[in-house]
Amino acid sequence: MQSTFSGIEIGKKGIITHQAALGITGHNLTNAETEGYSRQKVTFQVFDPLYIPGLTRELTAGQIGQGVKIEKIMRARDLLLEDRILSEKNILAYWRSMSEWIRQVELVHNEPSGYGVLNALDRFWASWQELANNPEEIAPREAVRESGEALSESINHLYMALKSIRDNIEQTIAVKVEEVNSLAQQIAKLNKEILRSESSGDNPNDLWDRRDLLVEKLSKLVNISVSRSDSDEFIVYIGGKHLVQGKHFQKLLLVKNPQNEGYSDILWDDGGVVDIRSGELKALLDARDIEIKSQIHDLDVLAVTVTDAVNSIHRRGFGLNLKTGIDFFTEKSIAIDRNGNYDSNGDGFIDGTAIFRISGTKKLSLDDVVGLTGTIILGNGVTVRYTPTDTVEDVVKKVNNAGTDIRMYVNSDGRLVVKSYSENFMIEHLEDSGDFLVQFSGILNQSGPQGAFDRGNAGMSAVLAGDFMVAPSPHPSSWIGVNEVLKNEVESIAASTGTDTDGDGIPDLSSGAGNGDNALKIANVRFDHIMVGGKTTINEFYQGIISKTGLKGETAGNAEKNLSMIVENLENLRKSISGVSIDEELVNLVKFQHGYAAAARFITEVNKMLDLLINRMI
């Protein structure tokens, strides 16, 4: 039987329901500008009727309604769209971060300008040309010394600037790893609160929004994937491994890597390497260990090549004071002696030979036909086979394209040159089963394994037939400088050539103070194709460094612009779904306000009826 006071209950439910709806509308309006907030929508449902079909129901004319109730409060969210946004923002964060760091490198190069390395190179070669024209004067020698110091300082400064950027990236990586750990911890904590709320049958919309916002921030840092398949566990993966699993999370660690100059690797707390493929952290790692590391290595290649090219000529010349055998640039070697012997593992025993460059003793031309058969064996067992019909140029190309760090070319004197452009500037292995590197070019003394050069053994310089340069200390660009002897005594700058009177291959008699041929040889180094396997000159090589930097910056900038447009469009689509429309909410406000007023008026009328029934029926 329906209660006399059921009308009041119906009205009360209407008031409570519309009051809650007004609260949701107000919640939407006040969070319209809140980051990560999703518009919430209330759904009304008819309250269960008084009489439900059954054997015990009253004999009444149909079911009697009991008013309204809130079925659920849902947030407007498209999870498929959210996953797409996570993916695109992850890629955008990579290119945005990479673009920022490359922009810093571009500023460091400061080219073209009057103060960069390229300008210093031009002044350096020009000063030698002037000395060649006036070999008896002191002023041109002083100009050579000053231009040499300016070039060295430019290279030193560029190295320090690049090294500083790399160090700054290392510090930024530490900050970002800590941010990943903090976000993972917050997500795990929210998972615990969300699970508790869901267990009670609630829709924790605001907690979901907070978690989604944290996940979105995390996606900018590192490549993540999200699993929602288990209703009891929200899981975040990095490279297929759990970062967050429900209320648990793993910390990422930074561990110094001595093989990477002490820069840090990112590891899981169990020691495994984190598989970072995109995002801001990946950009930082790539910028630190690929882009800037490559820039520093190219600068080192430039420095060691300039040092070797100039010194190999200068030490065979004579100064005004008739001194000879002096290097123009200081050479710092990793070896303990001029034969390249060194301690490879730091145990105190000499167990290796560090050689950077070997020059042959025989004159040859790129067009010369080899007329020999054999196999050149390089580091890691890489083999290069040559045949009787091959020219010197053919063999050089085969070696340079063999996929190793070894580069081969014929210099301006017609000598075959073999160099290592590895990180440590050391030739690992050099062997020839035939006579191309032996009798034909004069690089090695003997064919076969017994005449092979191998870095892992001491005393290997004995197998070399030609002139060689010992591998330099790490990062030649950091220490290249003019020899102190020449700084204090410009008369020792060797502008003049000499004659070998005793047949030992080393000039010992000066051609005279008026001879500037040696200075001219050094001035002409700028035209020699001695870089990258004889493909470019020193100046062209450095111009290539600048061009590559600009191209990479342009590529990163274009990728950033394109992805920014994609992300902007996706976010606009999300706003149309999840964003709060002030106009729409104001319409809802009026609607629910009228509903509230109607329910209140209904209660007033029921109250009048009850007043008549109770107080006036006497």
Collapsing DSSP to helix, strand or coil, 258 comes out as helix
**What pLDDT shows up at residue 346?**
81
DSSP 371-440: ---EEEE-GGG-EEEE-TT-BHHHHHHHHHTSSSSEEEEE-TTSEEEEEE-STT----EEEESSSIIIII
Confidence bin at 111 (pLDDT 50/70/90): low
- HEC sequence for 19-81: HHHHHHHHHHHHCCCCCCCCCEEEEEEECCCCCCCCCCCCCCCCCCCCCEEEEEEEECCCHHH
Phi, psi angles (nearest 5°) of residue 537: -85, 175
Collapsing DSSP to helix, strand or coil, 577 comes out as helix
**Order of all β-strands in the sheet with 374-377:** 383-386, 374-377, 429-432, 453-454
Q: On the CB side of 438, how many CA atoms lie within 13 Å of its CA? A: 20
- How far apart are alpha carbons 176 and 255 in whole angstroms? 14
- Among 50, 206, 29, 5, smallest CA distance to 592 is for 29
Q: To the nearest whole percent, how much of the chain has pLDDT over 70?
A: 96
CA distances from 511 to 322, 347, 496, 527 (A): 10, 48, 6, 24
pLDDT (tens digit per residue) in 441-467? 999 999 999 999 999 999 999 999 989
pLDDT (tens digit per residue) in 262-290? 999 999 988 899 999 999 999 999 999 99
**What pLDDT shows up at residue 160?**
96
Residue 110 is classified by DSSP as -
**What pLDDT shows up at residue 56?**
58
Is the model more confident about 415 or about 3?
415
Overall average pLDDT of the 183-191 stretch: 96
pLDDT (tens digit per residue) in 349-366? 999 999 999 999 999 999
The number of residues in the chain equals 618
| Omega cis (within 30) before 112 | yes
Q: What would you report as the CA-atom Rg of the chain, rounded to the nearest whole angstrom?
A: 39
CB contact set of 97 (below 8 Å; sequence gap of 6+) = 280, 283, 284, 287
Beta-bridged to residue 42, according to DSSP, are 73
Q: To the nearest whole percent, how much of the chain has pLDDT over 90?
A: 83
Helix, strand, coil distribution of the chain in percent, nearest 5: 50, 15, 35
**What pLDDT shows up at residue 270?**
87
**What pLDDT shows up at residue 58?**
60
Confidence bin at 54 (pLDDT 50/70/90): low
pTM: 0.89
Cβ(469)–Cβ(368) under 8 Å?
A: no
Cβ(286)–Cβ(338) under 8 Å?
A: no
pLDDT (tens digit per residue) in 336-345? 999 999 998 8
* Mean pLDDT, rounded, of the chain: 92
For residue 513, is pLDDT > 90? no
Helices vs strands, H then E, count in the chain: 13, 20
pLDDT (tens digit per residue) in 368-405? 999 999 999 999 999 999 999 999 999 999 999 999 99
For residue 60, is pLDDT > 80? no
**What pLDDT shows up at residue 112?**
60
E strands, 299-354, where? 341-342, 352-353
Overall average pLDDT of the 96-122 stretch: 87
For residue 618, is pLDDT > 80? no
Confidence bin at 62 (pLDDT 50/70/90): low
**What pLDDT shows up at residue 502?**
85
**What pLDDT shows up at residue 576?**
93
- How far apart are alpha carbons 510 and 506 in whole angstroms? 11
CB contact set of 148 (below 8 Å; sequence gap of 6+) = 124, 127, 328, 329, 482, 486
For residue 611, is pLDDT > 90? no
For residue 1, is pLDDT > 60? no
Overall average pLDDT of the 136-159 stretch: 96
**What pLDDT shows up at residue 202?**
86
**What pLDDT shows up at residue 599?**
92
pLDDT (tens digit per residue) in 290-320? 999 999 999 999 999 999 999 999 999 999 9
- Among 482, 527, 423, smallest CA distance to 156 is for 482
pLDDT (tens digit per residue) in 468-509? 999 999 999 999 999 999 999 999 999 999 998 887 778 888
Overall average pLDDT of the 330-334 stretch: 93
Cβ(296)–Cβ(474) under 8 Å?
A: no
- How far apart are alpha carbons 75 and 190 in whole angstroms? 17
Confidence bin at 51 (pLDDT 50/70/90): low
For residue 564, is pLDDT > 80? yes
H helical segments located in 60-137? 79-109, 117-133
Angle at 201 between CA 200 and CA 202, to 5 degrees: 95
Say how many C-beta atoms besides its own lie within 10 A of residue 482's C-beta: 22
Phi, psi angles (nearest 5°) of residue 385: -95, 135
- Among 420, 418, 428, 485, smallest CA distance to 453 is for 428
Overall average pLDDT of the 120-140 stretch: 96
